[in-house]
Amino acid sequence: MTECERLTLTVAVPTFQRAERLSALLRALPGRVDECVAEHPNVRVDVLVVDNDPAGSARGAVREVDGVLVRYVVEPTPGIAAARNRLLDSSSDSDLLVFIDDDEIPRPGWLSALVRVWRQHRAAAVMGRVISVFDDDVDPWLLASGTFRRPQRPTGTLLTAAATGNLLLDLEQVRAFGVRFDETMGLGGGEDTLFSRQLIERGGRIVWCNESETEDYVATDRLDRVWAKRRAFSSANATTRVELKLVASAGARVKLRVWFALGGVSRIVVGRLRWLLGKITSNLDHDARGARLVHRGRGMAAGAFGYRYDEYRRKVDRY
């Protein structure tokens, strides 16, 4: 594609029973779309919302949007992976697709920066920043644990994996590589890591865009230590399952299971010692990071033995 060729870009929003947050996102999109078209006048932008609630609870929120074309589709198959695949399938006429979560708000320059970096690098994917924001005062222990820490990088940095909270995909390359989201991981998380790892394994490149920023609203029910420990367990469990799925042979998979089991146990031991040190010395960093390491070790060991923790199972599901 040349600079003057017309491009179609779809902003892709998966959602599940978060109509209020979705409405806030959709109200913010027209301004970001206008910025993008002003910088990239040959880009046509539309928005696609895939509602993973079979009852179509997001339909009312979508009706509120002005100034930008919004399409709405219901995907009844449970799980974020099914919703993301429906977004891919329903964007078959688009050149670019940009994922953004339904609880995020894009900052000025978000979309135009992603397109700019894609044009510079022609990568299969461009990942931007997601910045956690909080309504209430946050327990210092949570901040010290690193649960909400997301590092910055120089724009153009090559990534070894990517999340989909703020991610541009070159759909021509994605289709050529034949990559899709694994729906067996849709309720346990990690489907975006697996997708991006497979994209890289098949020849794609993922680059970082530090100028593209979205704000991730952190709900009050996530601002406690129990949730942070559960999240550490879930994340490590999903990471272990991703690594096992990427191994081709049964023999190599057995070796990897042993490695993860031993690694999980060692993290439990080291984390417990660091947590105790933090308690004895009243050091918040050691306390929080030690506890988080213990639960990451538990998640890793559980994954090694085949246990799948479905963090997003439907009775408590929120993307």
At 126 the pLDDT is: 98
Above pLDDT 70, what percent of the chain?
Answer: 97
- Cα–chain-centroid distance for residue 190? 8
pLDDT band at residue 203 using 50, 70 and 90 as cut-offs: very high
Rounded Cα distance between 237 and 296, Å, is 8
Q: What is the pLDDT of residue 91?
A: 96
Q: How far apart are CA 192 and CA 206, in angstroms?
A: 13
39: which residues sit within 8 A by CB, 6+ positions away?
112, 115, 116
pLDDT on residue 153: 96
Cβ contacts of 12 within 8 Å, gap of 6 or more = 48, 50, 84, 87, 91, 97, 98, 99, 100
pLDDT of residue 7 exceeding 50, the answer is yes
Furthest CA-CA distance within the chain: 64
Share of the chain above pLDDT 90, in %: 82
Q: Comparing C-alpha atoms, which of 25, 7, 36, 207 is closest to residue 109?
A: 36
What's the pLDDT at 317? Answer: 43
| pLDDT tens-digit series, residues 290-309 | 999 999 999 999 999 999 88
At 3 the pLDDT is: 59
Backbone angles phi, psi at 58, to 5 degrees: -90, -5
Q: How confident is the model at residue 2 (pLDDT cuts 50, 70, 90)?
A: low
- Domains along the chain? 7-222 (3.90.550.10), 225-316 (no CATH)
Please give the pLDDT value at position 318.
41
The strand pairing partners of 131, in sequence order, are: 215
Q: What are phi and psi of 99, to 5 degrees?
A: -80, 140
Output the pLDDT for position 314: 56
- For residues 37-60, average pLDDT: 95
DSSP codes joined into one string, the chain: --TTS-EEEEEEEEESS-HHHHHHHHHHHHHHHHHHHHH-TTEEEEEEEEE--TT-TTHHHHHT--SS-EEEEE--S-SHHHHHHHHHHTTTT-SEEEEE-TTEEEPTTHHHHHHHHHHHH--SEEEEEEEEEESSPPPHHHHHHTTT------TT-B-S---STEEEEEHHHHHHHT----GGGTTTS-HHHHHHHHHHHTT--EEEEEEEEEEEEE-GGGSSHHHHHHHHHHHHHHHHHHHHHT--SHHHHHHHHHHHHHHHHHHHHHHHHHHHHHHHHT-HHHHHHHHHHHHHHHHHHHHHTT----TT-GGG---
Amino acid at 214: T
Residue 292, strand partner residues: none
Q: CA–CA separation, 318 vs 134, rounded Å? A: 17
Question: Is 62 within 8 Å of 72 (Cβ atoms)?
Answer: yes
